[in-house]
Amino acid sequence: MKTKRTYRLSQEAVATVKRLAEQNGVAPTQDAVVELAIQELARQVEDEHDARRWIQASSDPAFQQEAADLAALFREDDHRAWER
């Protein structure tokens, strides 16, 4: 379901959206270009959040121990898989 919204954008942003849709063929419509941009921004924000969580986990002794335990548990299977 689509919802109509109104946003105030700079002329440069509007021109960029139009160019991406009409000249570059990024998406079939200007609305689709905006949706793609929003999805990409959301993915970047989520990736940055995940990266911060991995950094935190890397200094957590419990996480480090669990990772080491899992590595030891699967070490032989990993070696067999790499030998192929």
DSSP 82: H
Strand (E) or helix (H) holding 25 = none
Alpha helices in the chain (DSSP H): 11-22, 30-58, 61-83
Total count of residues recorded for the chain: 84
Average confidence (pLDDT) over 44-66: 96
| pTM score, whole prediction | 0.72
pLDDT of the residue at 80? 86
pLDDT at 53 over 80: yes
Write down the domain spans for the chain. Answer: 11-83
Look-up of token digits 């999805």: 39
Gap between the Cα atoms of 33 and 37, Å rounded: 6
DSSP 29: S
